[in-house]
Amino acid sequence: MRRRFLQLALLLIATATGGAAGLPADNAGPALTLYRQLRDLGLDPARVYRIRDVGLDHAAIHITLNSGTIAFSHSVEGRVTGAFFEGDGEILLVPPNQVERGSMALFSGAPILEERFSTAFFRFNDDTFERLQPALRPADETAEFLARWEPTFRELCVTDALALLRFLTWQGPSGASPGTFGHARLAGQRLGPFDVWFDTENAEQVLVGQNNEVNGAQIFDVWASFAARNPGVVQSGEPENVTELGRNSLRITAEKIRTHIVPSHEMEAEAQLTLQATRSGARMQVFELSRYLKVSSVMGDTPLEFIQNESLAGGDLARRGNDLVAVILPRPLRAGEQLELRFKYTGSVLSDAGSGLMYVGARGIWYPNLGPAMSDFDLEFRYPAGWTLVATGRRVSEETVAGEAISRWVSERPIPLAGFNLGKYRTTRARAGETVVEIFAARGVEKSFPEAAAKPIDIPPLTPLAPNMMAPPPLALAPESQAVAQRSAHALDFFSRHFGPFPYSTLEVTQMPGPVSQGWPGLVFLSSYAFLNAAERERLHLSKYENLLFGDLVQAHETAHQWWGDAVLWKSYRDIWLAEALANYSALLALETEKPDAFRAALEQYRRDLARRWHDGPPMKDAGPVTLGHRLTSSRLPEAYEVVVYGRGTWLMHMLREMFRDADRDAPDPDARFYQVLSDLRERFDGRSLSTEDFQKALEDALPASLSFEGKKSLAWFFDGWVNGTALPRFQLSGVRFTRKNGKTVVTGTLLQKDASNTLVTSVPLYATIHGSKPEYLGRVFADGPETEFYLAVPAAARGLVIDPYQTVLTRP
């Protein structure tokens, strides 16, 4: 899986030009009317003032308006929600930890944001206007001010309309406050325009960043994002129900979707969602749904108001898509209450790739959802007879009625996502124990199959695919279905043995046009490239690593997502690296015994990628730690996500496994402890979300005594320095001396750790070189900072010392 591009909370905020559907325009309900007022807002000529020495603080955000002119917006339902300032102001924002200060430094040149600005746009849901009254004096030349800034203000107001609507429709018990929302767009003197948000509906309430452009594409760079210390969040009673859509008020427990696929690519669908309210007070819930699908109605007990957005001019959000629909409930929810919603929608989300291959462009957002979360799915599809449909769940019926095929698929257990694919497939089967692996391959590769390889891509579910992920001229190739079936069965068998049983009765593998692959619950979408044989791949002039990737790794990787990513979910964007690194390292483990050279080649490739520079910019590793997730894709290092999450992530798993292995070198199976940790995790977190902290704790619980650092059964040193860091150090030895005393030989010396921070701690294995035989393991030394002295017993035959000859520690190439 590749990135979850979407900083969805942000997307929600910046959502919404035009396109407000819902009830017909002349019959807009109260929520839709309110939404439009919030969106189409102007400055009030009667509210233009001089202002001096005023501080606007929210948690870690300190904004000062030194002197200038400020105009406030018209009121909406008696509230003033916007302002525009011109003059001299400054912002001070101190990120709370090393990771966020590092990110801030990458983008702004300093770990702390301290910047003067000349204009500021503000949006808020609180009493800012009332609070500022004492500091306001009548202004002159109000007409010029308004003429200059009114258009900008109006344009920016679109950005926060939906987020504000969520707060303003809130009807908490006994007037409870819904929390706080604030947005500032500041024109920085040094840094240009940038945005700061404070939003108690987000898990990380403080967000600061900037829109930038790379090769014509917009990227929103997140400079820093973190949880405020005292955010004043309304307690939901269910703190876990915060997804990338923000703090959800509802949870989907079951979803029934009836889909009619009309030739050639149209889809008409009705989705019936069973939901449970997770807190009281909310009247609005935002769902994800592809913008290519138009909602015609949302029904509760009665027709409901909804807001669906089509497009957004400019910005990261336009590129990433604005795939949201907000539903307004007739009354505030009570925590625990059940409700049903029925969405009707139509649109074109299927593309014909040729050779009998269809392609669902919208992936996981072809039905309304609240992000990956476990629920039961009951899917029914109607489609032209002669085509084959494959979906998540178990097929419980299939019939042909009046020239149309109808098939129904029911999930065998709650699954995080539902998906399908459609094609004129040939089916091949293989077995892995009790599990059937079914391959659904087309008669050829797609008509757009390229002569030269496109970049291999692996994307997480719910990410819509861009049209450019498919490309030009045909090769007359026949998919290698049998080989794919065998390789998938081998991987499935390996993972079942090490991580616990495969959760479904069958694994369906369906051919996917282009270089994209995805692993869904019981359903793998596998790139056409993986269906080529070795000779065919050769004609495409793939690199050694791409050959390995499409020849072996990608199938095993997507199959491993059945365990890591589907059965066990990730908790937040900061934990998605776990799903990718575990899936990728599991895939390498399945390959290791058979192809040790390929295993090494992959790790070597990842190491080189991390050191590679992006044009004249910094090396990829500097994009940040794996825990930044999608934020690693930035205008500074647009390709860093894969390199860090996959490359570094895989190395982190390798380092952990090798540390555990060395501790148990004399055990019958030195890998048993590491595998045990993984299979325990899989069992404990089955159907739940795993965080980086959970992962650390599980490893620490199983930590061998020899890996205690400073006497503590803790891996804090590894997670602080390596997981939440960007280290790519080098190691050297100095002052090595062998001494013989009382019939024993010892070696002393200093281990140098270079190109790393002074606080980095690394467990480094040292070996003795012995004439005529392989290096002999002596032990591990904790390199603690730049220089560490060591003392080790060595065999009498030792001639020298060598650092980590089998490359178990990630180092600079």
**Which spans of this chain sit near Zn ion (rule: CB under 5 A)?**
1, 458, 580, 583
CA distance 58 to 658: 45
CB of 596 closer than 8 Å to CB of 68: no
**Cβ proximity to Zn ion, 129 vs 545, nearer residue:** 545
Identify the H or E element spanning 223. strand 217-226
Closer CB to Zn ion, 204 or 458, in the complex: 458
Give CA separation, 255 vs 252, 279, 325, 343, 600, in Å. 7, 20, 17, 11, 44
Is 376 or 566 the residue whose CB approaches Zn ion more closely? 566
Which is nearer to Zn ion, 4 or 47 (by Cβ)? 4
Residue 325 to residue 319: CA distance in whole angstroms: 18
Beta carbon of residue 2, minimum distance to Zn ion (angstroms, whole number): 7
- Supply angle C-alpha 801, 802, 803, rounded to 5: 130
Instruction: Pick between residue 212 and residue 555 the one whose CB is nearest to Zn ion.
Output: 555
Nearer to Zn ion, 102 or 522 (CB): 522
CA 263 to chain centroid, in Å, comes to: 34
580 or 658: CB nearest Zn ion: 580
Residue 463 beta carbon to Zn ion: minimum distance, rounded to whole angstroms: 11
Report which DSSP code applies to 628.
G
Residues whose CB is less than 8 angstroms from the CB of residue 380 and which lie 6 or more positions away in sequence, other chains included = 256, 257, 258, 259, 406, 407, 408, 409
Q: Torsion angle, CA of 557/563/569/572, rounded to 10 degrees?
A: -40
Contact 663, 250 (CB under 8 A): no
Chain centroid, CA 592 distance in Å: 28
| Neighbouring C-alpha atoms within 13 Å toward the C-beta of 343 | 27
Nearer to Zn ion (CB atom), residue 204 or residue 609: 609
Q: Give residue number: closest CB to Zn ion.
A: 1
Q: Which residues contact 154 (CB under 8 A, 6 or more apart)?
A: 40, 41, 42
Q: Is the CB of 1 or the CB of 327 nearer to Zn ion? A: 1
State which residue, 1 or 406, has the beta carbon closest to Zn ion. 1
The one-letter code for the residue type at 127 is: D
Q: Least distance (Å) from Zn ion to the CB of residue 517?
A: 8
Nearer to Zn ion, 635 or 689 (CB): 689
- C-beta closer to Zn ion: residue 379 or 590: 590
Least distance CB 324 / Zn ion (angstroms): 25
> Can you tell me the distance from the alpha carbon of 750 to that of 752, in angstroms, rounded to the nearest whole number?
6
CA angle 245, 415, 420 (to 5 degrees): 90
Q: 683 near 500, Cβ under 8 Å?
A: yes
The minimum distance between CB 519 and Zn ion, in angstroms, equals: 6
SS3 301: coil
Structural tokens at position 328: 């307004």
Shortest separation between residue 408's beta carbon and Zn ion, angstroms? 29
Six token digits for residue 651: 């190395």
Beta-carbon count within 10 A of 417 CB: 26
Cβ atoms of residues 66 and 90 within 8 Å:
yes
- Dihedral, CA of residue 226, residue 232, residue 235 and residue 236, to nearest 10: -50
Least Å distance, CB 526 to Zn ion, is 12
| Minimum gap (Å) between residue 368 Cβ and Zn ion | 24
List the structure tokens of 263: 């030739």
Toward Zn ion, which CB reaches closer, 223 or 646?
A: 646
Name the strand (E) or helix (H) holding 725. Answer: none
Type of residue found at 589: L
What's the min distance (Å) between Cβ of 642 and Zn ion?
10
CB atoms within 10 A of CB 175: 7
Whether cis (ω within 30° of 0) applies to the bond prior to 264 is yes
Report how far residue 369's alpha carbon sits from residue 350's, in angstroms, rounded to the nearest whole number: 19
